[in-house]
Structures are given as structure tokens and as C-alpha cells.
Amino acid sequence: MIRFFIICLLSLSLLACAAGNIPPGEISELQQGKRYFDEGYYKRAMHELLPIACDGNPDAQYAVGYMYYYGLGVAQDTDVGHFWIQRAANRRYVPAIRALQMIEVNKERENRQLEYKPKPWSKTEKNKTR
């Protein structure tokens, strides 16, 4: 009975390893990229993560998008950042979906603030300075 249990466990372990979508080499590159990011070496992180993101890994896509969106290790480009975050969200990567929701909320706030900002030459501003 114990032998049967051990065989089942080993079979399930092998099946889980074989069913993974990420090749072993990519896992180590992803881990290295994450480590560089966590340590603040953003250029190195981008160097490791961008090829993995191009291969379709949503974790790497989100990280690349985040770095572009906030200008970490690259010139800030919110459009490119949004593109990569959207790609990760399309693969149902939850942090990317949440990030897109936050981006949309912030855009709506900014738009409302711009709508209600009085111009420097408006009558309400002139009256305040007197």
C-alpha cells in the first residue's frame, strides 16, 4: 500500500512538471529578472525579462510594462507600459488586470480635475487675488 502511494505521488509530481507552461531555463531567467528588479537593478531586469515577455510570459510582460510605465531602467513611456500590461491582462494575469483598473481610475480622475480647473484668467481667479 505504501509503495502504491509513493508511486502515485511520483507520478503526480512528474505530471505536474511536464504540464508546466514555462521551460526550466525561462524560470531561472524570470527569477533572475525578478531578483534584479527587487534589488533596484532595473536595466539588468529589463535585459532578462524582455525576451521572456516577448515569448508570452504574463509575469514578465507585467514587469516590463510596469518598468516602462514608471520609467524604471528605461525612458518612461506610458503607452508602451500600457501595451505590455494589457498583454499580461489578456493572459488573465491578475496583477495586470488590477493595474489596468487602477490606470483607468487614475485617468478618469485626471480628466475630471482638468475639466474643473479654472483658467488663470477666469473671473473666479481674478476675484480671489483682490
Q: For the domain with range 23-129, which CATH number is right: 1.10.1740.10, 3.30.230.10, 1.10.357.10, 1.25.40.10? A: 1.25.40.10
Instruction: Reply yes or no on whether the pLDDT at 128 is more than 90.
Output: no
In eight-state DSSP terms, residue 56 is T
Phi and psi based region of residue 92 (left: phi greater than 0; alpha: psi -120 to 50; beta: remaining)? left
Top pLDDT among 86 and 10 is at 86
pTM for the model: 0.67
pLDDT digits (tens, 9 = 90+) for 43-58: 999 999 999 999 999 9
Confidence class of residue 35 from pLDDT cuts 50, 70 and 90? very high
C-alpha span between 36 and 49 (Å, rounded): 10
C-alpha span between 70 and 21 (Å, rounded): 29
